[in-house]
Amino acid sequence: MPTLTVSFTHIDVNDDGDNWPNGEGEIFYDLLISDQSIVSRSAENPHDADTGDVIILNQQRTLNRPDNDPNAFIKISGWVSEDDDFLSGATDNAGSFEHIHNLGNGWGVGTHEARLSGDGLDVTVHYTINTVAVDNL
């Protein structure tokens, strides 16, 4: 059975949501495949990043591709936020995304991005989907 490999590659920090003089933003996020968390950071253990930084993820999962089933799909979703205390006006939420891939779009094989922007936080989540042909093994 053919398989799909979904790789969350990186997050571009277009604006970290903590402007001068606050320094780096405390970025936390959750990225999921079919509602299962694949890579995440918590508000208590954020990734510190400034505007222009790239957060390297390189987390991938291989899953069975539901063959030729027009009703089958995989869902790629996630959200990104930036932690602030109440003095800074509470946590910034860039928002969330949800992408559906199925037979109709070739299982989304290729590169994808989701730009999320809100509360002054602006990021772009990058992921790729590849097929792995195991039929010939």
Shorter beta-carbon distance to Ca ion: residue 21 or 70: 21
Residue type, 120: G
The tokens 């010939």 sit on which residue? 136
Interface residue with Ca ion among 84, 101, 122, 125 (CB under 5 A) is 84
Taking CB under 5 A as the rule, does residue 15 contact Ca ion? no
How far is CA 137 from each of CA 5, 6, 122, rounded to the nearest angstrom? Answer: 17, 21, 44
Tokens of 123: 């990021």
Residue from 7, 18, 39, 79 binding Ca ion (CB under 5 A): 18
Cβ atoms of residues 132 and 4 within 8 Å:
yes
Site mask for Ca ion (CB under 5 A), range 42-71, x = bound: --------x---------------------
51 or 77, CB closer to Ca ion?
51
Stretch that binds Ca ion, among 9-17, 31-39, 55-63, 99-107 (CB under 5 A): 9-17
Q: How far is the CB of 29 from Ca ion (least distance, A)?
A: 14
What is the largest distance, in Å, between two alpha-carbon atoms of the chain?
60
DSSP one-letter string for 99-124: EEEEGGGGGG-EEEEEEEEETTEEEE
Least separation in angstroms between residue 21's CB and Ca ion is 9
Which residues lie near Ca ion (CB under 5 A)? 16-18, 26, 50, 82, 84, 92
